[in-house]
Amino acid sequence: MFLVFLVEGCMRKIIHCDCDSFYASVEMRDNPVLEDKPLAIGGSGPRSVVATCNYLARSYGLHSAMSMSQAKKLCPSLLIISPDMVKYKEVSRQVQRIFHDFTSLVEPLSLDEAYLDVSDVSHFYGSATLIAQEIRRRVQQEVGITISAGVANSKYLAKIASDWQKPNGLTVIQPHEVEAFVAALSVDKLFGVGKVTQRKLHSLGVRTCADLRAFSVYELTEYFGRFGQRLYELCRGIDERVVKPHRQRKSISVEHTYDDDLDDLQSCLEELPALTAELQQRISRHRGSEVLIIKQFVKLRFSDFTTTTAECLSLKVEEGVFRQLFAQAIERRDKSVRLLGVGVRLKAEEADAQIALPL
């Protein structure tokens, strides 16, 4: 065991924890026979996608969001298990309880990852590195899965670090290492840089953050609008976002991809009662959300993969409103429909306190 002492004072100490192939890890924990087999979690229909897969399956080129049909072509011996969300949520609660044993400043991002601010924690001499080690040890011992962690002085660097040595890894970016680490970082690792922005950066000769630092904030704003200011900060390791224990929920929705396309409005309307019922169940699980509803919306994805949405003001879920929105949306494309979604948008200023992950 080794000790790492970080400088005390106003320095922030952020840990990003990310469970390794979460759904698959839970299934392998419960059935050890699966450990040495390529495994994917998801549906088995022709339009199903991979929710997650274990690292053996990833060695065949599989990844999350890949179509299951493509996954089976790459790995004919792939085992497919339908997701058990009730079980995964309970495991997530167990992991979250461990996080809260160290700090109340925990910001869940999903069932399997979270930020922790341990700046003022006195455990383990105040060392974020040792705290991260202990969290990883306890999750493996008490929950039976592995977790990777990143330690840094900002959220975005901690998240990058947690992915650096996956699976079951720990990466620490010490304050004196930030300058060199960020300079060598590829710009596609920056928070908010997608494929379009990446292509534009590459067209400017920018591959690393060191390249990006050659541009002034005025030039970056001219090229990328408001996001230019953010790029200017990130390529210098600047990220002042704080860890927020309660994340604001802006909407609640459900959607379903169909094995066979829905050819017309009537076919879509026949699926509406089941979607509405599922949405109502999901709203009921978020206590108080029903009084925060301000809009209803629908989402349609057509056979050519184009997507459209329609919404209107509403203070409660009404199936008749969804019927009208479906009619509006389906007129926009002369195509059959492969995905339907329905949802509600919530009042922002009050939704914040409603959706902390129950412990």
Query: What CATH fold (topology level) applies to the domain 22-84?
Result: MutS, DNA mismatch repair protein, domain I (3.40.1170)
Annotated catalytic residue 113: yes
234-262 pLDDT, tens digit per residue, is 999 999 999 988 766 788 999 988 878 89
Show the tokens assigned to 251.
């909407």
Q: Is 186 exposed, middle or buried (0-12, 13-18, 19+ CB in 10 A)?
A: middle
Q: Which helix (H) or strand (E) holds 50?
A: strand 50-53
Query: What CATH fold (topology level) applies to the domain 251-350?
Result: Dna Ligase; domain 1 (3.30.1490)
Q: Are strands 79-81 and 170-172 parallel, antiparallel or unpaired?
A: unpaired
pLDDT above 60: residue 3:
no
- Please give the pLDDT value at position 287: 63
Tell me the CATH architecture of domain 179-234. Answer: Orthogonal Bundle (1.10)
In degrees, rounded to 5, the angle at the alpha carbon of residue 113 between the alpha carbons of residues 110 and 115 is 110
Query: What CATH fold (topology level) applies to the domain 14-21+86-176?
Result: Alpha-Beta Plaits (3.30.70)
For the chain, domain boundaries: 14-21+86-176, 22-84, 179-234, 251-350
82-129 pLDDT, tens digit per residue, is 999 899 999 999 999 999 999 999 999 888 999 999 999 988 989 999
pLDDT above 90: residue 214:
yes
Q: What confidence category does residue 5 fall into, taking pLDDT thresholds of 50, 70 and 90?
A: very low
| Alpha-carbon distances, residue 346 vs 283, 324, 343, 349, 353 (angstroms) | 11, 20, 10, 9, 12
| Alpha-carbon distances, residue 138 vs 86, 114, 135, 145, 310 (angstroms) | 22, 16, 5, 10, 46
Give the gyration radius of the chain's Cα atoms: 23
Show the tokens assigned to 21.
């192939």
Higher pLDDT, 191 or 132: 132
Higher pLDDT, 290 or 78: 78
* Phi and psi, residue 314, nearest 5°: -165, 145
d(CA 341, CA 325): 11
E strand residue ranges, 64-211: 79-81, 106-110, 113-117, 147-152, 170-172
d(CA 290, CA 311): 17
162-183 pLDDT, tens digit per residue, is 999 999 999 999 999 999 999 9
Nearest alpha carbon to residue 160 among 194, 188, 201 = 188
Nearest alpha carbon to residue 24 among 8, 37, 44, 40 = 40
pLDDT above 80: residue 75:
yes
Q: Are 50 and 62 in contact (CB under 8 A)?
A: yes
Q: Are strands 39-42 and 50-53 parallel, antiparallel or unpaired?
A: antiparallel
d(CA 331, CA 327): 7
Show the tokens assigned to 162.
């947690």
Q: Are 309 and 297 in contact (CB under 8 A)?
A: yes
Summarize the confidence of residues 323-335 as an average pLDDT: 93
Q: Which of 27, 113, 177, 331 is catalytic?
A: 113
* 112 annotated among ligand-binding-site residues: yes
Q: What count of other Cβ atoms lies within 10 Å of the Cβ of residue 349?
A: 9
